[in-house]
Amino acid sequence: MTAPLILHNFFRSSTSIRVRAALNLKGVAYEQRTYALRRGDHRAPAYRALNPQGLVPALELPDGTVIPQSPAILEYLEETHPEPPLLPRGATARARVRALASAVACDIHPVNNLRILLYLETRFGADEAAVAEWFRHWVAESFGPLETMLAGSPDTGHFCHGDAPTLADVCLFSQAVNNRRFAVDMEPYPTIRRIVDACAALPAFERALPENQPDAA
């Protein structure tokens, strides 16, 4: 029997939600190792030995290989477990999905990550309200254009691209889940809301939610 994949992750981390949703959509079995980020578990030497960046998620393969970075993990899963596909057919369609996913993964998440928010507090004295405002600002900077891109394209269907979930949905959903903690107003984004609701209706996404994880506080 092959050893299962091990996902090093944290229940509330949006990059972890992405990977859990993709694993669930593809029906890939995995075990979890959890790290309490507020407590700094991810910076402990034992985890740094696995993933020198000390960030979650990381996917550990049965042969001991550790893949850090959620986009790399998602692409790895797509290559090794192609069914059901999370990228559409055709280079142009795939580029569209990757662009939508990147608007979250490259433009929102990096500036709203925990270590950034903590640095705002400790280095620049930002209080809770200021940190929340920062978070919401950077969500709006990308959610506004994303709403335009999704609402204005005939390629948008039940999900971000057509009628089956893709990597774009996995990223959008995880961001929307994270937004709840900072009371982001979703009213201006009816298409995004509709797509996020469509994702939430699927068990694979539901099982990826923070509240359904073993380390949920």
Ligand X SMILES: N[C@@H](CCC(=O)N[C@@H](CS)C(=O)NCC(=O)O)C(=O)O
Query: Residues interacting with ligand X, by CB under 6 A?
Result: 13-15, 37, 42, 55-57, 69-71, 105, 113-115
Indicate the pairing of strand 66-68 with strand 58-60: antiparallel
By CB atoms closer than 10 A (0-12, 13-18, 19+), residue 152 is exposed
Cβ proximity to ligand X: between 32 and 113 the closer is: 113
Do 43 and 52 meet the contact criterion of CB atoms below 8 Å apart?
A: no
Cβ proximity to ligand X: between 139 and 198 the closer is: 139
**Residue of 44, 12, 1, 23 whose CA lies nearest to 181:** 12
Cβ proximity to ligand X: between 114 and 164 the closer is: 114
Task: Please count the other Cβ atoms lying within 10 Å of the Cβ belonging to residue 181.
Answer: 12
Closest approach of ligand X to the CB of residue 90, in Å: 25
Closest approach of ligand X to the CB of residue 190, in Å: 26
Instruction: For residues 36 and 154, give the distance between their C-alpha atoms in angstroms, rounded to a whole number.
Output: 42
**Residue of 7, 145, 148 whose CA lies nearest to 73:** 7
Closest approach of ligand X to the CB of residue 16, in Å: 6
Closest approach of ligand X to the CB of residue 109, in Å: 6
Rounded to whole angstroms, what are the CA distances from 86 to 33, 36, 59, 108, 194?
A: 25, 29, 18, 21, 19
Cβ proximity to ligand X: between 171 and 198 the closer is: 171
Cβ proximity to ligand X: between 23 and 198 the closer is: 23
Closest approach of ligand X to the CB of residue 211, in Å: 16
